[in-house]
Amino acid sequence: MKRILITTFCFLILSGVSIAQSTETFDIATFKPPLGWKKEVKEKVVQLSIEDGGADTYCLITLFKSIPSTGGPARASNRRGPRSLKKGSA
């Protein structure tokens, strides 16, 4: 019985944390920004960043606005395919 109460209590705490985070939408993406991260919004980009100055480390997440397709996947991947490779460039 005690185990069930502890499990229920932990579940309620964890679900409360995820509910407290607000869901945001940018273009076609819906996301929950990580707590403590800095958000910078521009017209076509949303950037989420965090920095640890003591360890000289950082993380940057960039969401770009979607653009319309110019064709199917085969056409899009061939646009910069073999024609753009030059002899001896590899």
Q: What is the largest CA-CA distance in the chain?
A: 73
Dist CA 88 CA 90 (whole Å): 6
The two beta strands, 29-31 and 24-26, are antiparallel
- Please check whether residue 64 is in contact with residue 45, taking contact to mean a CB–CB distance below 8 angstroms: yes
Q: Assess whether pLDDT exceeds 70 at residue 68.
A: yes
pTM for the model stands at 0.53
Percent of the chain with pLDDT over 90: 29
For 10-24, write each residue's pLDDT tens digit.
666 666 555 556 889
Q: Assess whether pLDDT exceeds 70 at residue 78.
A: no
87: confidence class by pLDDT, cuts 50, 70, 90: low
